[in-house]
Every structure is written in C-alpha cells, then in structure tokens.
A = this chain, B = another copy of it.
C-alpha cells in the first residue's frame, strides 16, 4: 500500500546558516494527524580519491557534533545552485589539494531519511595529482593515505565510523573488483 502523508500545517522553527528545522503536521491514511520534525539540509557531496598506486586519500578532522576526531573521505555541502560534480572537484581541491583527471558519480543516498532530507552524492576520483590544500577558515584538516584493504579493515574494526566514508569505500571496492574481473 503506497500512500503519502499530506501536509496539513508546516511550522518553521529555525532558519540557520547550514540547516533549517520545520515541524509538519501530516494526515495519515486513517485520517489521524501526526507531527514530523524535519531538518532541511542543502545536500552534500563526498569523494573517494584514489591515487595511481591504489591509495585512498582520507581526511581527519574534529567534528563538534560527535565530539570526536573522525577519519572521512573528503566532503562538503552544496552551495546554492552549485552543480554536484563541480562541488566534488572544488571540495576535493580545498580539503586535500588534489586535482583529479577523472571524477565520476558512483551513487547517491539519503543520510537519515527519518528526520532529514540531506542527500549525499558520492564520487570516485582517479588519476589524482597533488597540489596545495586550501581549507575554509574554520576547517582544520589532516590528510591520511591508506590502501583499500587497510580501509576495509578500518571499517571492520570501527576505526572508520562515518556513514558516507563507509558507503564510499565499500562501493569503490566493489567497483574496483568488478573492473579487475
């Protein structure tokens, strides 16, 4: 049974720099009402950069929301009207200093559809060429290179704990394995 929740009322709670919050009152199939708390997000891109010798380039940074240092693939939010492909190349360059010969979208997904519309597009970047990183004023980022088998182990033993990074590495791995077949 496919149905949609009809919006009966929508109340804007917060309008922020990065995210906004609204509460929708919705009508359910039984005609009863319920409330949905929704975080609006502009969407993000993430990039799996692979060097010619098969190394993955990861970034390490403190994340206030989780109060911890996380190891992630390079990523960033979409700017207003920005093309996701351009955004991927821009964020890769800003965070790691890398240019890439080839940048291709692998997949897109919703990070947590129970409460947010954030859509993440994951790209794979190959033929990456070193350059100078240029992070934003409030970004402090370390670069870490690992090979793909190490990266898989780091997912398995919980060293890598970021959703987009797990999806990006697992998808890149299956892509690489398919090409090798």
Contacts and interface: CB of A to CB of B under 8 A. Distances in A.
Interface of A: 1-5, 7, 13-14, 16-19, 21, 23-24, 26, 28-29, 32, 34-39, 41, 44, 60, 62-67, 69-70, 72, 75, 77, 107-120, 137-138, 140, 142, 155-156, 158, 161-164, 166-167, 170-171, 174
Contact of A18 (B115, B137, B171): B115
Contacts of A13: 13-14, 21
Contacts of A26: 64
Given A2-B69, A163-B163, A116 B110 contact: no
A68 to B, nearest CB: 8
Q: How many copies does the complex hold?
A: 2
B64 A36 contact: yes
Contact of A161 (B34, B108, B155, B161): B108
B113 A70 contact: yes
Given A2-B62, A34-B138, A110-B163, 11 more contacts: A18-B115, A19-B115, A21-B21, A24-B64, A63-B113, A66-B113, A107-B166, A108-B158, A111-B163, A112-B116, A113-B162
Given A16-B37, A19-B39, A140-B29, A109 B162 contact: yes
